[in-house]
Amino acid sequence: MTPYARRGVHGQTVETLARRVLSGEIPEGATLDLPALQSELDVSLTALRESLKVLAAKGMVDARQKRGTFVRPRADWNLLDADVLRWQFAGGTSGSADLGLLHNLGEVRGIIEPAAVRLAALRRTDADLTALDEALDAMGRHDLGAAHAVQADLAFHRVLLAATHNELLERMEMVIESGLAHRDEIVHSSPHGEDPVPSHSAVLSAVRAQDPDAAEAAMRALLEQAVRDLDLVHGAGGAAGGSAGGDRGEGGERGPATGGRPAGTQGTTAPRPEDSQ
């Protein structure tokens, strides 16, 4: 579950195509017009096909000899992939869709983290406690700005998962961090969120005391606060003329309409030799 490296023209092409598919600009079932996309994105056909291989690995596109390259049904997409989550948050989706995805991820966290923190309370080492203390101290440095607060929060939850000493749970950080980072960017950039230090401190105290029941209760309280913070920030944004990120939907990477269909797609699914991979 290593995140995709976003570098160079290849990385930019992957990101652009992924966001168009995830936003629905290139809809499910659409056959891609590779020569048109090649011209629009100003990349070689080889580079374009290499970029599409990244999306194919995540279940988003596929290619058939008589059909060409097409977008697979959303049910086939690897929606828990860290890159797919990040692309959805970064892709200029509408505020309601953005908030809906955050709430979905909040439910996932509500299933994983309370159970994980119980294991952490029973299995934590002195090294785990030191790392948690450091992350909590970093969270208290409010003078260092929102970006620092986001990274400190991510570090705390990453260490908690590591303290379970279950390598499969540790990998869940790839899922949790994508949503947590986006939520933190919204909340920590707003004056309306609560101070996160007390709730995290309560979790750490219970883990330190090796009290799994208290640790679970503290984590559930922390997650409830996270939901309140997000709702409060979005509510305050709505009162001011739009929820946080709510007007981003018009800023996505939309190509010009071509004949009433999405840019970079074919009007039919008739095969074209140059479209097959």
Name all domains of the chain by residue range, CATH numbers in brackets: 1-78 (1.10.10.10), 94-241 (1.20.120.530)
Token reading at 228? 């309140």
Please give the torsion angle defined by the CA atoms of residues 13, 15, 17 and 21, in that order, rounded to the nearest 10 degrees.
180
Angle formed by the axes of helices 146-162 and 126-139, to 10°? Answer: 160
Burial class (CB in 10 A: 0-12, 13-18, 19+), 73: exposed
- The number of helix segments (H) and strand segments (E) in the chain equals 11, 2
Q: Distance from CA of residue 166 to its chain's centroid? A: 23
What DSSP line would sit under 199-252, residue for residue?
HHHHHHHHHHTT-HHHHHHHHHHHHHHHHHHHHHHHHHHHHTTS-TTTTGGGGS
DSSP 76: G
Which residue's structure tokens are 């992350």?
135
Residues 22 and 122: their CA atoms lie apart, in Å, by 40
Of 19, 20, 13, 72, residue with least CA distance to 48:
13
Under 8 Å between Cβ of 60 and 71: yes
Q: Which residues of the chain register pLDDT less than 70?
A: 1-7, 91-98, 187-193, 233-277
Q: What count of other Cβ atoms lies within 10 Å of the Cβ of residue 163?
A: 25
158: tokens are: 């990453």
Q: Note whether 134 and 233 are within 8 A (CB).
A: no
How many angstroms separate the CA atoms of 265 and 33, rounded? 5
Q: Specify the pLDDT at position 143.
A: 75
pLDDT at 161: 97
**pLDDT tens digits along 209-246:** 999 999 999 999 999 988 887 777 666 444 433 433 33
pTM above the 0.75 mark?
no
The confidence score (pLDDT) of residue 244 equals 35
Nearest to 136 by CA among 115, 117, 119, 158: 158
C-alpha distances (whole Å) from 79 to each of 58, 113, 216, 248 are 8, 19, 27, 21
Angle ∠(79,149,239) on CA atoms, nearest 5: 75
